[in-house]
A and B are shown apart, each in its own frame.
Chain A
Amino acid sequence: MIKLLLGILLLGSLFILFIPRHQIFLIRFVGNATSFFTFFVSLFLWILFDDSTPKLQFVDEIVWLSQSNINFTLGVDGISLFFILLTTLLIPICLLASWYSVTIYVKEYFIAFLLMEVLLVLVFSVSDLLLFYIFFESVLIPMYIIIGVWGSRERKVRAAYMFFLYTLFGSVLMLLGIIYIYVQVGSTDYETLLNYEFNGLEQKLLWLSFFASLASKIPMLPAHIWLPEAHVEAPTAGSVVLAGILLKLGSYGFLRFSLPLFPAASYFFTPLVYTLSIIGVIYASLTAIRQTDLKRIIAYTSVAHMNLVVMGLFCFNTVGLEGAIIQSISHGFVSSALFLVIGVVYDRHHTRMVKYYSGLVHTMPLFITIFLLFTMANIALPGTSSFVGEFLILAGVFKANTTGAFLGATGMVLGGGYSLWLFNRIAYGNLKLQYIDHFSDINRREFFVFLPLILGTLYMGIYPEVFLTSLHSSVVNLTEIINPSDFSS
């Protein structure tokens, strides 16, 4: 099944490779069609998914380096299912959103996105630690190129470097950890590792090495500054993928590896994680209020929300973990949509400075309605997906640590501050006619870019049961593995 997904994507990108450079429409069409088709195929993963088991499903095994005990096993369980679906949903949206906004190297652009989708699907489905690491890192390459080539300003090169180096530095430590694990266990197969118990010190050191990599991906303080930089310089679609999927690699890594492989260390370091996350939530929220660049604001809000997700991951109960997954997915919808919103106004006015915008509701009522919906989702209004996520996370955290939940929940108030302020600046007030000279509301293509995200946000907010049902058995299984009463004396 996953092989099929990958095959479609690779075939599509190969096909684009052979289309002559000047047939831009054909390139765009094939790129979009491939990614849309992949999405529909990936839906079958969900339809055929068996909710009753935490096992890996749709397993594809490819023998690879069998002498070294490293096998290429692909599979999906409840945790990875929605991350894969999020990927396959967001890539077509990105490609549709950049239908006209990308004019140079169109062919390469589409190939880069399709390859990135291949790598992301692999990251989320591979069940081997070393291969996970390889794909985790190789996602950087297309993203680095996307920021560096299709970014908007000269500063983009610096941003691309920063993005690359920050994530790479952390990952080097993770590689060391993985090599150590391989030497110790003799395999990097996930299920084998689950049956191996590292001793206390090993766990702590390995946990820290993984944390260095995953935390800079989330990003947690103080390794967060690459994110605003990269977002500001990336093209709209790049930001969408960055916020929507790439940050989730961090939370996915915690869920998949750090927690179950090193449960005692995870429990031991929970105070550290909480402290960093709480600082992240409050710090990023307060910083976001004072930014002048639209993308930078949303980037900082991403930091705040993802740090809340990390709190949910480390509360060691089902409610918090399910909340963290739901919030990850929901953040994939909401922050992607907010970047697309910015993309819409940027396509029209070519600036991202807040001060040039005002009163867009006069000329773009439909657009502002959509913007309002996602602003409200951003501040976790009940009925939207992020409410479900945030509430479950905080309920879980409250169970583990009331003070942590109290401080984490201040994000509710601060989030209201920056979101409403931003929305108010863009939408309301008088139109600044000296700056604004383009008055079209969103067109049909843009509407269809937003539509899946709107539906997803509302559906997940009003009836999250559909998502939660598929999560239950995998998450409960994980909770059993990391049960603190097993190792806390």
Chain B
Amino acid sequence: MYLNIIFLPFLGSFIGGFFGRFLGPNGSAIVTTSCIGFSCILSMTAFYEVALAGCPCYIKLAPWIDSELFNVPWGFLFDSLTVVMLVVVTFISTLVHLYSTEYMSHDPHLPRFMAYLSLFTAFMLVLVTGDNYMQMFLGWEGIGLSSYLLINFWFTRLQANKAAIKAMIVNRIGDFGLALGIFMIYIFFQSVEYCSVFAMVPFFADQKVCFLSLNCNLLDAIGILLFIGAVGKSAQLGLHTWLPDAMEGPTPVSALIHAATLVTAGVFLMARSSPLLEYANGALSVITVFGGMTAFFAATTGLLQNDLKRVIAYSTCSQLGYMVFACGVSNYAVGVFHLANHAFFKALLFLSAGSVIHGVSDEQDMRKMGGLRRLLPFTYAMMLIGSLSLMGMPFLTGFYSKDVILEVAYAKYTIPGHFAYWLGTFAAFFTAFYSMRLAFLTFLSEPNGYRPIITNAHDSPIRMALPLAILAVPSIFIGFIARDMIIGLGSDFWSNAIFVHPKNLNSIDAEFIPHSMKLLPVGLSILGASSAVIFYSYQSQALYTLKISELGRKIYTFLNRKWFFDKVYNEYITQKFLSFGYHTSYKTIDRGLIEIFGPMGFSTVVMKKANLMRELQTGYIYHYAFFIFIGTGVLICLSLLDKLTLSFIDYRILCLLVATAFASRQIKTSL
């Protein structure tokens, strides 16, 4: 049963991808969706067995790579963390499969799309079930590949091509760090299996390592390298640029991959490595700071995006920041709880956005929508549920995890913890603001779209509406239901899957932070939401004046242009590399230096010397007599020199040279 959870999606992908042209669109849709559906049911059973009944499961299949002490098996580990991820991934994947059969029904490549989705799910499941870092890395790269293929699904679009390449390459920078982290784990622990590594971590707590000539703490170094991997995959500040661009893919892809599952792989990695990170305080501080900055940065950028999907993408990025700093303050359970909650309401938001886009003839610019609440009432309701949950409105799902994250960050009473708390709290304000702005521009304001689009707008058909309706339920309730089980005090839900060092434990401290600090995030959220309502419904003129003022324009450009990250990367880094690759390495060295000192220079020099020697061959007897005279003279002089010099100048070689000079004329004439 456990292995079927992983192999069913592979099977679906294989059948859908390679036999899709025989099965047809409907056939492959049915095959892939039902494979994932079964996988989902099995995952829930596994959830019951492992998490609720408390019996983790471990399956070792075969050796994979086995060289000296580098032993990597094909092994599958099912503990609480894994099964939580399994349920989230397969549940959302099933709904997205179902949704896609309708959303993509007009696409001639539907079988391919379904196969890619299944492939992605399969690799994601490999990632979460792997029992060692290598197998995790396989899933990690595999989801990167499927994300590349899915972003690039409409392959004739240049933007999609660019976004796909960008996603993969930026992710590979993260993978580079992750791979180095795995090497370092292997070198010191002589193993990459979770169980052996984590068991040995406490013995390496004070181990130093010299990495890149820096003398640092081993576990800090490993933690930071692993975190670089997570920065790439989970779109943290610095390597986040791929995520908004990835919105070029079809919307179900954005919902499944770039909101609910793939991007949470980094958070999963942090939670999975909790026994290691717990001894690496430096790394934890870095993680906290990065998480806080990401949450803040992405929330501000999301404020002024005009593309419906990009707003949600930045919101994803910002929420990932919350999850990451929750891990950074040693509350992995809270991070994973927010991951699961976020997966539900963000998938709901994205699928609703897809429904809007589907309804208004593939228009994505919010400025050209407006007034859709009357045309798409069902989608409006769903989107609003998702948005409110995202804002952390009290008693919806998002509230239960997001608030706890901020509380535990404050209760850390460290500089990184407070840094993350304040940035996160302000991010909550912006989150509420842009969520309401999105709702206003899309649904509530006056219609701004073109007439044919508005008249043709229609609400989703059943296969799209059903996933929305199903997702709405957990978006409202799951936080409340699961709260005590997952992050409740003294809950043994996680058993050994997540380790928190007793001195880092602060969930009780979180109950005793000042009330004002507890209420501040919710207050700011409500303030943000209401200010957006006020501005967009009554004071839109004031907003406009603000936007066209000198300062307002600068701020607008800065935020709308995503803090100029792309500009800096493109112009100052990528361009430099590319021009080095052409001007320096190719033109100057390969085609210049090496050619001149190599083949071309050699042949020119030989040709010139040969011509020079040829000039000597005049054919006049008195010239030759002169050479003979001079040559003999030189040889006699040489023989008079002392032994030492003679040993360097061998006159036999000299004779050979002279003979060559004469022979060269012979060759010339014969040619």
Which residues of A are in contact with B by a Cβ distance under 8 Å?
A: 161-162, 165-166, 222, 225, 228, 283, 286-291, 317-319, 322-323, 359, 361, 376, 379, 381-383, 387-388, 391-392, 394-395, 398-399, 402-403, 405-406, 409-410, 412-413, 416-417, 420-421, 424, 427-430, 462-465, 468, 472, 476
Contact = CB atoms under 8 A, between A and B. Distances in A.
A416 to B, nearest CB: 4
A390 to B, nearest CB: 9
A428 B152 contact: yes
Given A222-B594, A319-B70, A468-B66, 10 more contacts: A222-B598, A225-B590, A225-B599, A228-B590, A318-B68, A382-B134, A382-B140, A398-B183, A405-B180, A427-B155
Given A410-B176, A428-B152, A429-B156, A405 B183 contact: yes
Contacts of B179: 391, 394, 409, 412
Contact of B599 (A165, A361, A476): A165
Nearest to A427: B155
Nearest to B598: A225
B653 interface: no
Interface string B50-84: 00000000000011111111100000000000000
Residue among B67, B68, B142, B582 with the most chain A CB within 10 A? B67
B580 interface: yes
A383 B212 contact: no
B591 to A, nearest CB: 8
Contacts of A416: 168-169, 172
A283 B70 CA distance: 30
A292 to B, nearest CB: 10
B138 A468 contact: no
Given A398-B187, A409-B180, A392 B65 contact: yes
Contacts, number: 144
B158 interface: yes
Interface in B566-616: 577-578, 580-582, 585-586, 589-590, 593-595, 598-599
B108 to A, nearest CB: 11
B578 A290 contact: yes
A413 B70 contact: no
A301 B172 CA distance: 17
Contacts of B156: 359, 428-430
Given A382-B141, A383-B138, A395 B581 contact: no
Nearest to B154: A428
Taking chain A's interface residues, is the majority helix, strand, or loop, or is none over half, making it mixed? helix
Given A225-B590, A383-B142, A428-B155, A289 B63 contact: no
Nearest to B135: A382
Contacts of B69: 319
Interface string B208-221: 01111100000000
A391 B589 CA distance: 30
A286 B152 contact: no
A286 B161 contact: no
A398 B169 contact: no
Contacts of B169: 413, 416-417, 420
A318 B65 CA distance: 13
A428 B173 contact: no
B137 interface: yes
Contacts of B142: 381-383
A287 B586 contact: yes
Interface in B192-240: 209-213
Contact of A412 (B172, B213, B593, B594): B172
B184 A398 contact: yes
A128 to B, nearest CB: 30
A450 to B, nearest CB: 15
Contacts of B278: none
A26 B179 CA distance: 52
B480 interface: no
A39 to B, nearest CB: 26
Contacts of A291: 586
Given A361-B155, A395-B183, A403 B213 contact: yes
Contact of A406 (B164, B210, B212, B595): B212
A381 B180 contact: no
A468 B65 contact: yes
Given A286-B577, A413-B173, A421 B165 contact: yes
Interface string B341-369: 00000000000000000000000000000
A287 B592 CA distance: 14
Contacts of A382: 134, 137-138, 140-142
Contacts of A387: 141
A317 B187 contact: no
Given A392-B70, A403-B212, A424 B165 contact: yes
Contact of B70 (A395, A463, A476): A395
A398 B145 contact: no
A422 B68 CA distance: 36
Contact of B585 (A286, A323, A424, A428): A286
B155 A287 contact: no
Contacts of A463: 62, 64
B175 interface: yes
B586 to A, nearest CB: 5
Given A165-B599, A286-B577, A394-B179, A317 B586 contact: no
